[in-house]
A = this chain, B = another copy of it.
Amino acid sequence: MSDADAPALLSDDEVRALDAHWRAANYLAVGQIYLLSNPLLTEPLRPEHVKPRLLGHWGTSPGLNLVHTHLNRVIQARDLDAICVWGPGHGGPAVVANSWLEGSYTETYPDITRDAEGMGKLFKQFSFPGGVPSHVAPETPGSIHEGGELGYALSHAYGAAFDNPDLVVACVIGDGEAETGPLAASWHGNKFLDPVNDGAVLPILHLNGYKIANPTVLARLAEGELDDLLRGYGYDPLHVTGDDPLQVHQAMAAAMDTALDRIAAFQHAARDKGATERPRWPMIVLRTPKGWTGPATVDGLPVEGTWRAHQVPLPEVRTNPAHLRQLEEWLQSYRPQELFDTGGHPREQVLSAVPGGTRRLGSNPHTNGGLLLRELPMPDLDRFAVPVDKPGATLHEPTRVLGQFLEQIMVNTAERRDFRLVGPDETASNRLQAVYDATGKAWQARTLPVDEHLDPHGRVMEILSEHTCQGWLEGYLLTGRHGLFSCYEAFVHIVDSMVNQHIKWLRTTRQLSWRRPIASLNYLLTSHVWRQDHNGFSHQDPGFIDHILNKSPEAVRVYLPPDANTLLSTADHVLRSKDYVNVIVAGKQPCFDWLDMDGARAHCARGAGIWAWAGTEDGTREPDVVLACAGDVPTLEILAAAQLLRRHLPQLSVRVVNVVDLARLLPKDEHPHGMPDPEYDALFTHDKPVIFAYHGYPWLIHRLAYRRTNHSELHVRGYKEIGTTTTPFDMVVRNDLDRYRLVMDVIDRVPGLAVSAAPVRQMMQDARQRHHDWIRVQGTDLPEVADWAWQR
């Protein structure tokens, strides 16, 4: 079934103008893939006009050009505030072509003028060393989405639409991308889109039928099955099908008008008439040939409409005269002389439906979110600080304390609506539920009387899909807003690859002066490796930190606040920051309060420092040993070890160092937060044993510190991938991170203690044995551990 047979909507002139624009964009896309010079074909095409390395992808381009052409029309006709997320891979040539046609490209890159010379540069730079990528990318004006790794277009689109009530976010989804898990899940974004406070998302599923080498699943479904699927996802599909351009233009225009009329009607009903039923939002299914208008056959094999059109349809243009002639015919088939004047400027007809100013898709400020970003109205931290008269005397659940701070941010942004909290069904499990006093959980599906905190206008986003959470937040941040993603530590690995791409985006945009800084992507990782009492081995993985620290140092930060006030200070810092990916790992279980608010601020500002109150050094010389820690559980064990040492080996001079900002351990030239060597040496000494209790995989600390003076004396304890369902203390014992083991490490490493401290070492062995005996019978931690408290 196709709606393409509807009566003609456009006049012949309108169709001709749209077609001219489409042809111009197609011409420019082919030119980018092939031409090194002779951009207007002012002379017969010769091999030396063609790039020596043919890179890029033609297949998706004509479809994207069609969508862009028709979005132009409706934006202009309706004065629409619209952006488009271009999902298909390798769509760069198309979107760049359109951006150049509308003038956005030249305004962004003045060197690429809208004339023959600029066209020549535009062609040459594509997939050329130092030029622009074949994907819609950070370099592409009007883009908030890289079409490189597939799967995230639709969640980005929803993220962009949230809290942008006047915005329409079109989103082209390739039928290749539609096979991915993240994309398949993200259709359900419509159950979370508020017709009152959010904008609209218009998905355009482009069925060109093929991926790199295979047909696509959705393009080959039985009759009606695809409609069932899309209706099951909650949409009302409008079909545009064909390979006759003039007919498709009419059908596409009609579908766009129908979709936008329905969107307007749903928004009117919700905003002005109090309708509360979830709308069945429209979407468009565009079924046109892959590589449409390209070579029908090459070397006797079908190309247009097949997977062979995916990349470079004519691969041997420089060496095969038949290919060269075919390329020239292909380019001439667009009749460039009708489209561009002799100076290479697009003719008036081509531009007749192009909108102006910031209505252009390549110039809409929502796609350069930093332009719209406002500083978050941050509450006064002291209001939420827990009082700490002395270290280790009281307990708080750090994330619960943070929840109150986040609640106030929600209150402060109630009108502005530019802050959201996302998480996979874990906001309460992660003990942030105070936010529900300020706002509810977004929910547009059915509700029952027993439900709690569901709110059609809520700004807490929960769906059991880390991919969707991440995609929503990325789309929200990229369009100039703020947010926080709370997640179980182990399962944030689910978005490893997504965060890679976001960091790559940030790294690239940092080098583009026209891209304004956006709010950082902030993770709160809790329910962490050491406290999986309920869940055991499958929920234990601290490796996201390692993953993040492999990435561009200018864009990544990792924090391990050891208590409630340091968590508050860290959260305050990251929520004010821009253009980073910040990872905070913090506990939700009751945790001793070590620092008061001022102390926490000062400690977090340094990122790593001596806790003099916990050590025994007298300041006259380097200590005998440094006990270092990073993370809440390691900090607890280090302090317990320090207390044991003070009691049993009082003559030992012990320094305790806590590290909040992990990158401080890196050399200064490897990370902006890296410590200069003298500062590192002053903390960790030149040659004394350093026993470092670390939250994650111990070798990460070595990887960060291997260049340091005292690296040979650095001994790290951490998670060794030994896990099970057990008690908190048993977990640290199994991984040799427990206080008793740490004391034994000190005795084993500090010269001269082997004999004198042998009785103490035996005492520690005995304590570990007591633990072993106790836990197997009782199933709980030893009372001496469970009831432990810091004493000075």
Contacts and interface: CB of A to CB of B under 8 A. Distances in A.
Contact of A214 (B306, B441, B535): B441
A433 B184 CA distance: 28
Contact of A228 (B55, B229, B465, B550): B229
Contacts of A446: 220-222
Chain A interface: which size bin? 35 or more
A754 interface: no
Contacts of A278: 222
Interface in A541-556: 541, 543, 546-547, 550-552
Given A53-B533, A550-B543, A550-B721, A501 B134 contact: no
Given A225-B234, A227-B232, A451-B215, A134 B493 contact: no
Interface string A412-450: 000000000000011111000000000001010111101
A194 interface: no
B775 A129 contact: yes
A233 B222 contact: no
Contacts of A764: none
A426 B176 CA distance: 12
A465 B181 contact: yes
A127 B539 CA distance: 14
A426 B302 CA distance: 21
B464 A179 contact: yes
A711 to B, nearest CB: 7
A258 interface: no
A536 interface: yes
14 contacts: A90-B534, A133-B725, A134-B534, A135-B535, A135-B536, A181-B465, A191-B220, A212-B428, A213-B426, A215-B451, A490-B497, A493-B500, A494-B497, A702-B706
Interface of A: 36, 51-53, 55-57, 90, 127-135, 137, 146, 148-151, 176-177, 179-186, 188, 191, 211-217, 220-222, 225-234, 278, 302, 305-306, 311, 425-429, 441, 443, 445-448, 450-451, 454, 462-468, 490-491, 493-494, 496-497, 500-501, 504, 507-508, 533-539, 541, 543, 546-547, 550-552, 697, 699-700, 702-703, 706, 711, 721, 724-727, 730, 775-776, 778-780
Given A213-B428, A504-B537, 20 more contacts: A51-B779, A53-B533, A129-B776, A133-B536, A133-B725, A176-B464, A177-B464, A181-B184, A181-B185, A181-B186, A211-B425, A212-B425, A214-B443, A214-B462, A215-B443, A228-B229, A491-B497, A493-B500, A543-B547, A699-B706
